[in-house]
Amino acid sequence: MPNELNDHKESSGFMKKLLFAVGALFVVAGIIRQWPLAGKTYMEFIEGKGYLALMLGLIMIVLGFSVPLLMGDDKDN
């Protein structure tokens, strides 16, 4: 049983790091493709080339924060 819990913690930690890393990569790529950010209207920003990559990166980062909740990581055990 303790070995199973360690495997669960290791896999959730790996998943969290992976989502943060890939999310950060997408955010950086989205910002680079949207550059310059200043002076754009809201519609120009949404219709820009890097908008989808930027939003995907932000979603992945939020999912990285919620990995313990999604994997059912209970601290009570």
In a domain, 42, yes or no: yes
Q: Could you give the CA distance from residue 69 to residue 46 in angstroms, rounded to a whole number?
A: 31
Three-class DSSP category at 1: coil
In a domain, 3, yes or no: no
Bigger pLDDT: 76 vs 38: 38
For 45, the domain range is: 14-69
Number of domains in the chain: 1
In a domain, 2, yes or no: no
In a domain, 23, yes or no: yes
Band (36; pLDDT cuts 50, 70, 90): confident
> Per residue in 37-67, pLDDT tens?
888 888 988 888 989 999 999 999 999 988 8
Tell me the whole-structure pTM to 2 decimals.
Answer: 0.76
